[in-house]
A and B are shown apart, each in its own frame.
Chain A
Amino acid sequence: MNILNNYFDGEYLEFNKDNYSIKLKIEKIPEGYIIRGKVKGKLGKIDIFDDFADEDLFINNWQSWSPTKKIKVLNYKYNIPDDWKKTAKYSAHPMPEYLENNIISDYFIAKKNKVYGFLTSKIAHPFFEVKDNKIIACLEYFEKNADEYIDIEPLIILENNEMEKLLEIYADYVKFENNPKFSKWNPVGWSSWYHYYEELTWQDTLKNLELSKEYNYEVFQLDDSWQKDIGDWIPKDSFPGFDIIANKIKEYGYIPGLWLAPFSVSEISEVFLKHKDWLVKDENGEPKVAYINWRKNIYALDTTHPEAQEHLKNIFLNMRNNGIHYFKTDFLFAGAIPGKRYVEVTPIEAYNIGMKIIREAIGEDFILGCGAPILPSIGYVDGMRISADTAPFYKPNDLDFVYPNAYYALRNVITRYFMNGKWWWNDPDCLILRTEDTELNDKIIEMYSYVSGLLNNMILQSDDLSKTIKKDVYFNSLKLRGGIPHVKGLMNDNYSFEIEAFNTNIGNVKMHVDLEKINFKLEYDEDYPQLNKNTVLREEDNRLFHYYEERDNNA
């Protein structure tokens, strides 16, 4: 049967385009619709749906550090400086040139009463283009040849009068579609980065371990500093071996954590010098620069090359077998750059292959994703950075694109709140709680920390602990965790939001937060009987008894 010149086989609406054939079907759900389908042929960019745009839209960019924010469509420009474009390359987007000339939103987009979002990114890169007052849902297949029909990434369309609620529902459907299994543990700990950066020494590590005793951390993580080179993931000469690092951290009762960028290879690394065949290539067969950082060209590991795969697996096995059980995996987008690979797959498929190797190597240990494409990472990471780098400064007038800045980092902590606990644990980036060596004032320190706590995010502090630290803010932030948060105001013109969290460790809490005016107000629930719980196992019949009694707050 033909409907509007398209063949309908009772289940799918089928039609042919220039180089491909596509079948689509619409599934009704209580909150709207899901469009599923199949496609075959020579696959480039495919448009599968469009709808009218509003003047104001809520957009999202593809990876951890990128913004999620409300924009005014008219005259919107990304405003990326030229020198940054030269170095950022694929950290900006898998199709950086496309980002530059169009208004696009990756994975999902929203207007005040509708959310459109793709549910997966397994083969294609899903995004939305905003053009001629329309929102167009697109799938980029990077010229994939599909001789047989393959499933498209499903698209959901949700409608209601509360956009924030729709984003929460979108997150639910993404969860159902991907069924991610991630750690039940939502970590608290320390990271070296935002004080020591690349200058961390083993002596600094030992000093901070000793000073950390009063914080009750769970994880202690050394950041970029310990390794021989980007790509050569073994300790440099001034650091001891993995086993000594791990054992020393364990002595203090913490889980040992290390940072690495597993898909990145620097131009002077041993891997680059000896194994150029392990890298993603350009059209001429030369290694392709993924981005420039550390004043070096950085190339991407080809996760489809058998030897590179073995190498990737061994990096993690080696660390894990020596006692490292928390991995901050950074610059992950490098695994998803377009280019020539050993096996013909899309960049997204290559990324999935790489992440699967890492997950299989480390079993149930904790992976924090960072600099990572959002949707393809679901199911592989336990925690995910959802903001640009924070910083010991807060600059509302700076450019809003992937630069370290506590202002935009905090904005994204709020605008991506709905992913938390459904796809992974949101990492709001570290809390900087020192009052020295920082431009952050007390109000900003508290605002960043309390928002992170109230949104039930991971809490990692990053200070030289010998400095003056706002310890009370750290402990207050922990008290604010444990709840179910909802945010209102994502479409407000200024960055002022209302966060309400139910059932936190201290009951229900409301927070009005104004990022522009640097102002916040916390409202606590009425007093209530706080109960202590004591669970006892009765060994004679293996039954659990849970005794509750009022907590003696004066004890």
Chain B
Amino acid sequence: MLERRFNPITGEWVMISSSRQKRPNLPKDSCPICPGVLELPGEYDLVSFENRFPALKKDAPNVENNSNVLIKDKSQGICEVVVYTEKHNSELSYMPIYQIEKLINMWADRTKELSSYEFIKYVFIFENKGKEVGATLPHPHGQLYAFPFLPPRIQLKIESLEKWYSEKNSCAICDIVKEEKEQNERIVYETENIIALVPFYARYPYEVHVYPKRHVETIYELSNKEKKEFAEVLRVITNKYNGLFNMPFPYMMMFFQKPFNINKTTHFFHFHVEFISPMRGPNLIKWVASVESGTWAFINPIEPEQAAKQLRDVEVKLDEI
């Protein structure tokens, strides 16, 4: 079954995709996205391909609505697997910055292409790294969901940024970057054009946000110089994560950009990245349990200023990686 169902209590669309249940766990002897195995027959540099087990499909089957209460719709969208390199034993924190630059260009091109479909309203790029966050393959890869609707947290971000703009005539993230630079308490790493920080309002212990300093709405508006620095920042943050407790650090990396094909202005949306991790200490998990899952109200057991200092203090030597 492939369809989405509407929850009138919360206004959420839930994607029902029974094929995802057939996804393999970790393959025993071979990686399906290594060159010459299951998905990618020959050598490659970078590749993005439609997921074999999608939650959204371009040619999703039509669904019939038989109720005015229990409403459903077809799951028309696109889910892609984004493979960063053909090297199985790599990850963002080891990859040459040049390869990450190429990856950024691929993400940008994917965003541009997918947003050209009228039915796509949101292009969400993300990476789940580590078995603690459900990643099934160690081969460096991420995913991309091109949604036919605006997911609730995206909707919330748009509304909040819009309200801020309405009241202050400025972009909230531009204002945050300015204020964070002035306070200089939570900055983890910074280049001329990109800043990474533990946000003042961090929900997770080692949450890190990456903001371009210039107001851009999408990844494809970054200049080449900004992309170079963005690549550097992604590598530094993932490297600091690994160094934090001297362990492969699980994380979720999520890209937020403006929506597409909606009849509404969203020029106040500022492209940004959120890293979150379930780790709250060495071998300690911050569980997202009843309060967080049920109410979306988070309790962070670590002061963001403290987390920022810990991450800032992890030494990263770019030339040695």
> Which A positions have Cβ atoms within 8 angstroms of B?
28-31, 159-160, 165, 168-169, 172-173, 175-176, 179, 184, 484, 502-503, 507-508, 525-529, 531, 533, 541-550
**Residue pair B98, A529 in contact (C-beta under 8 Å):** yes
Q: What's the least CB distance linking A202 to chain B, in Å?
A: 39
**Residue pair A548, B265 in contact (C-beta under 8 Å):** no
Interface string of B285-301 (1 = CB under 8 A from A): 00000000000000000
The one of A31, A172, A502, A549 in contact with B45, judged by C-beta atoms closer than 8 angstroms, is A549
Q: What's the least CB distance linking B145 to chain A, in Å?
A: 15
CA separation between A247 and B262, bound complex, in Å? 40
Is B157 among interface residues, defined by CB-CB distance under 8 A?
A: no
A548-B224 contact in complex given A176-B264, A179-B263, C-beta closer than 8 Å: no
For the complex of A and B, the 3 pairs showing the least CB-CB separation, nearest first, are A528-B224, A549-B45, A543-B50
**Residue pair A549, B223 in contact (C-beta under 8 Å):** no
Report A-chain residues with C-beta under 8 Å of the C-beta of B224: 507-508, 525-528
**Residue pair A529, B102 in contact (C-beta under 8 Å):** yes
Q: Which residues from 93 to 108 on chain B have a C-beta closer than 8 Å to any C-beta of chain A?
A: 98, 101-102, 105-106, 108
A502-B221 contact in complex given A176-B264, A184-B116, C-beta closer than 8 Å: yes
**Residue pair B220, A503 in contact (C-beta under 8 Å):** yes
The one of B46, B108, B169 in contact with A549, judged by C-beta atoms closer than 8 angstroms, is B46
Report B-chain residues with C-beta under 8 Å of the C-beta of A159: 169
Chain B residues touching A, range: 35 or more
The one of B59, B108, B109 in contact with A542, judged by C-beta atoms closer than 8 angstroms, is B59
Nearest B residue to A169 via CB reads B265
CA separation between A19 and B50, bound complex, in Å? 63
Q: What's the least CB distance linking B270 to chain A, in Å?
A: 14
A531-B109 contact in complex given A502-B220, A526-B224, A549-B46, C-beta closer than 8 Å: yes
Chain A-chain B contacts (Cβ-Cβ < 8 Å), number:
95
Report B-chain residues with C-beta under 8 Å of the C-beta of A547: 44-47
A160-B47 contact in complex given A525-B224, A529-B105, C-beta closer than 8 Å: no
Q: What's the least CB distance linking B210 to chain A, in Å?
A: 19
**Residue pair A30, B44 in contact (C-beta under 8 Å):** no
Which of A165, A179, A543 gathers most chain B CB within 10 Å?
Answer: A543
Report A-chain residues with C-beta under 8 Å of the C-beta of B216: 502
A543-B49 contact in complex given A172-B265, A184-B116, C-beta closer than 8 Å: yes
CA separation between A333 and B71, bound complex, in Å? 48
**Residue pair A160, B169 in contact (C-beta under 8 Å):** yes
CA separation between A508 and B228, bound complex, in Å? 13
CA separation between A503 and B268, bound complex, in Å? 19
Task: Add 10 more A-B contacts to A172-B265, A543-B52, A548-B102 (CB < 8 A).
Answer: A30-B162, A173-B265, A527-B224, A531-B46, A542-B59, A543-B50, A546-B113, A548-B105, A549-B45, A550-B102
**Residue pair A525, B46 in contact (C-beta under 8 Å):** no
Report B-chain residues with C-beta under 8 Å of the C-beta of A28: 166
Q: What's the least CB distance linking A29 to chain B, in Å?
A: 8
Nearest B residue to A181 via CB reads B118
**Residue pair B221, A30 in contact (C-beta under 8 Å):** no
Report A-chain residues with C-beta under 8 Å of the C-beta of B166: 28, 30
Nearest B residue to A542 via CB reads B59
